[in-house]
Amino acid sequence: MNSPSPSPRKRRRWPIYLVAVVAIAAIVALEPTQVIRGYLKGEPFYLGRPSGYWRSVIMSQLQNEDVMSSKLKVLTDRQAFDVLERCINDVNPTVRAVAVRVAAVGASQIHADSDHVQQVTKRLQIARINDQDKRVRSAAIGGLNNIERTSDARQRHLLETQIRPADELILRNMPMNSDLRCMGISTVAEALLESRRSQGETSVKQLSQTIYMNWTSGNSIVCPGRLTFGDKTFLVSSTAALNQLSTEVADLYKQHYEKLLETDAGRQQLQLASQQFIRNERALNDILEVDPDLTEVFCGVGLRQFRDGRIKRTNHAFLIRKLKSGRKVVFDPNDPGRPIQCKLVASDEGINAEWRCLYRNTGEFTTQKYRLIHAQVYFRVFLGKSS
């Protein structure tokens, strides 16, 4: 018995399905950011783009005599290393050599994270020994030499900025700002900079409560060398510990902030706290000079300007340190781990601080201008302890 033949309607559907499949394949193949292909292939991503996209960026720059063109400088960020490592394993030796050089430049920056430096160094050592292409081995040797030279420059930088090595570890490991954590990140860093270390360990929750409730007094806290979080234990100055502490302190701040917003009296208290501006540079120096490490947390009320000209009104929190020369540097949670030169501008409304830095992990530089409030004063009003 003969089987029934497909109906004419079903036969007409096959060309439609075929066209749809071809169209989808074309979209995936031609999509310039390669995001879909990156997800399908399980590639690492940076700035919302997969390693395949960044490989094409490297390929487009091969004829550029300046290996560190602006398009490649973005990849010197420590967050981009997973993408670079994929390119270091590429089948094309030229791509491997460029990726090695870019990774070395990122690790050679004077404020590079120590864990990142070790990670890059290890990968470059493997390339120096095992890569079959002479250009890649040569790039790895040059990169390792640059990283070694930078270690001496980093020590000179510490002397210039008066940062003790133990303090530098805390400042260098400051986590990146996210979810409105700038207040938590800044207060945690300053509390640990001035803490008295002890043996033993404590929980992240307990230490974060101590930091938060002690902030109005200005007194140093006792800080154990290790922190527990769940079933894990971290060194207190590690990136993981600072990240957890910053989140906990930021959450305590947000809870109290939201509670104040519920009543008229609370909203008036918030407004009053946000108006405690520092009048001039002399008043700013008075605050910094009584601090043991000449570093304090400040709140900022002002503007952030983006590269395309957009201006955003914003509130922020950050550290300011006074150097021997009298100049001021900022440690900004949006571009953590390095001191940033800032300019002070006097106005009738009070002293303003201006600086330019990276905005989180976007790769974009922004300019910010803030009126300054001493965070200790802000917290006293915020927590109702100003009397």
Pairwise CA distance, residues 355 & 344, whole Å? 9
Question: What is the token pair recorded at 217?
Answer: 């007094």
Who contacts 126 (Cβ-Cβ below 8 Å, separation ≥6)?
A: none
Pairwise CA distance, residues 55 & 71, whole Å? 12
Pairwise CA distance, residues 109 & 205, whole Å? 34
Length of the chain equals: 387
Pairwise CA distance, residues 340 & 161, whole Å? 11
Pairwise CA distance, residues 321 & 300, whole Å? 15
State the Cα angle at 175 between 252 and 340, rounded to 5°. Answer: 115
Written in H, E and C, the secondary structure of 149-185 is HHHHHHHHHHHHHCCCHHHHHHHHCCCCCCCCCHHHH
pLDDT the model gives residue 262: 95
Give the rounded distance of the alpha carbon of 118 from its chain centre: 18
pLDDT the model gives residue 69: 65
Stated pTM of the model: 0.63
Give the rounded distance of the alpha carbon of 193 from its chain centre: 19
Pairwise CA distance, residues 106 & 101, whole Å? 9
> pLDDT tens, 102-155?
998 888 775 555 677 878 888 998 998 899 999 999 999 988 888 877 766 655
Helix and strand element counts for the chain (H, E): 15, 12
Question: What is the token pair recorded at 238?
Answer: 């590690």
> pLDDT tens, 202-251?
999 999 999 998 887 777 899 888 999 988 898 898 888 999 999 999 99
Pairwise CA distance, residues 121 & 150, whole Å? 13
Pairwise CA distance, residues 310 & 238, whole Å? 36
For the chain, domain boundaries:
35-161, 166-271, 273-382
Tens digits of pLDDT across the chain (387 residues): 455 555 555 555 556 555 444 444 444 444 556 677 777 888 888 888 888 888 888 888 776 545 556 678 778 887 888 989 999 999 999 999 999 999 988 887 755 556 778 788 889 989 988 999 999 999 999 888 888 777 666 555 554 555 566 677 788 888 899 888 999 999 999 999 988 888 889 999 999 999 998 887 777 899 888 999 988 898 898 888 999 999 999 999 999 999 999 999 999 999 999 999 999 999 999 999 998 888 999 999 999 999 888 999 999 999 999 988 888 999 999 998 888 889 999 888 889 999 998 898 887 889 999 999 999 999 999 988 765
Question: What is the token pair recorded at 112?
Answer: 């590079």
Pairwise CA distance, residues 109 & 147, whole Å? 8
